[in-house]
Every structure is written in structure tokens, then in C-alpha cells.
Structure 1
């Protein structure tokens, strides 16, 4: 399956406007993950930022298999080896650089990337 097109958060009900700061890179925890939610009335938009080395992934926080968030309780999105993003519900594993699922019930599908830019030490919506 081909990668999904980038998701522009301002296109979603409840999504933030372009230029919204998602994360300050230096403030990300040692494990590199941050769960981010935007809410407006009944609309909820969930995304996450994950930094591994020099790679920063920004994705919709939604597993393509069941629609559940990848994390269960906190900002942790990586498997125990630190090599792949993992869905805590069914164990699907995804590549950090492109969100492609390499193992699990949604193998061959991808996480939806979020359109973003990195500037001035931060990750911003576009």
C-alpha cells in the first residue's frame, strides 16, 4: 500500500491552525515521545511526535487496524528495543521514518503523517 498523504490538521474539525507549536525538540523526554490532543466541542484530534536520533516523526495517533491510539497511558510510542513505533493494543510495529507497518494485523498499511515543519528548535503544524 502506498504511503498516505500528509494530514493538515487545520482541515479537521477541532484541529489547530497552521503555525501551531506541537513540541519543542529540546523539551521532548528521553524516550522522545509526546502525545498531543486538540479538542473543540465534541471534536478530538490526536497526534504524536516521536524523536529517535535525528529522525522526528509526526503522525495521527490512530492505528490503521482498529482506530485506537498507539499509546495506552503515557507518551511512549516505541517498542522495547527502541527500533519501531508500536501499537500497544495489538502489537503492530511501524517504521519511525515513514509510519509503514512491518508487523502485526495492519502489515502493509501506514500511519497517517501530519504535515509539519521543523524550525527554531520546534515542530510546527503547516
Structure 2
């Protein structure tokens, strides 16, 4: 009981710090993806939350049949929790709902690699990652 209360207090105290750090974490990811996108395409002119939304909602034929779109697990509302085909809960993707979600660059890359391969049937490009993160930031 005492440990649970201690954990709850620490979580409550840490939440504002995580929320404050979240935009900086996404800025760092976006800067990395912008550099990679520019290297891949010198005409790259920036990320688009609208393209990110379209990517999130679009169905693809190249990935797994049970996950043809990001919305298959994450739902159309990025601020709401989702559910995998196996029934596992998925935390909301929007920065406003899950501020600490994008803080660890290794985890961000791990999930992009896994989810892009499952949905698109390939790795996402730097521009796709940046567009998608821009959409999550806008939610």
C-alpha cells in the first residue's frame, strides 16, 4: 500500500516534467528526420501534419492483412487508446494524450520499424516518419 502511494505521488510529480519535455523530444526527432529526408530528396520542403494524417488513415496492401492501416490498432482518433488484433491495449498516440511517448529515440525507431513493416510492408521513409510525428504533435 505504501509503495503504491509512493509510486502514484512520483507519477503525479513527474507528469508535468514529462509533458514539458515532450515537445523538445519530438523536435529532436523531427530535426533528425528532416536531415535524412533532405539527404534523400534535396527538394524536401518540410513535414506536413495533413500528409501524416493521410498516412495514418490510409490502407496499404504490402503489410500484414490484419493490419492494413495504422488505424487498425491505433484507431482514427489519435487521442484515444487503441487495441491490437490480439486484443492488447495500445496507449493513445497523440502527443497531447501521451506526452512521454516520443522521448526515447530508440523506442521511437523500434516502433516505427516494427509498425511500418507490419502496415506498409517496408520501413517508413524519413519524410513519412516526420509527417506522421507532425500529425501526432497536432493532436
Same fold (TM over 0.5): no
Q: TM-score, normalised by structure 2?
A: 0.28
Question: Which of the two has greater strand per residue?
Answer: 1
Q: TM-score, normalised by structure 1?
A: 0.30
Higher relative contact order (CA 8 A, sep 6+): 2
Bigger CA radius of gyration: 2
Question: Which of the two has greater helix per residue?
Answer: 2
